Amino acid sequence: MATTYAATISLGDTDAAGVLFFARLFDFVQRAFEAHIGARGLPIARCLSEGVFAPVVHAEADYRTPLRLGDAITIESSVESIGDSSVRMAYIVRKSDGALAAEALVVHVCIGSDGRSVPVAEALREALARA
């Protein structure tokens, strides 16, 4: 099931051309991820305090229409798949008029304190499986 996160493009999000700086999309996507798991009972602070670490190992995006200062956006996040040690999250970014602005895919891999991959923590797996 998808979760929607709302945001507005601010001055610090734009580049010299006045459009969303390409890397800032991933800041918004991270916030959407945190909102997604938080809405399912697993706030990011709890993840960290319980040693559930899931850094990004792959990220890709397609930019469909420019986002400019003041644009209100919604980011729909959904779980694409959950593997043994990884989670693939899909994101759809829309402007307030419904126009598709961007699509992103982010892969997280769960790691232990030694930095090696570990199975997806049960708390994270359960939260992502909740509707």
Give the tens place of pLDDT for each residue, 33-72: 999 999 999 999 998 898 889 999 999 999 999 999 999 9
- Token couple for 26: 């991933």
pTM score, whole prediction: 0.93
Of 15, 84, 97, 114, catalytic:
15
State CA 27 to chain mean position distance.
8
Active site residue 27: no
The residues pairing with 90 across neighbouring beta strands, listed in sequence order, are 78, 105
Q: Which of 70, 59, 58 is nearest to 13 (CA)?
A: 70
Q: Are 32 and 108 in contact (CB under 8 A)?
A: no
CATH no., domain 3-129:
3.10.129.10
Tell me which residue has tokens 């800041």. 27
Cα distance between residue 110 and residue 117, in whole Å: 6
The domains of the chain are located at 3-129
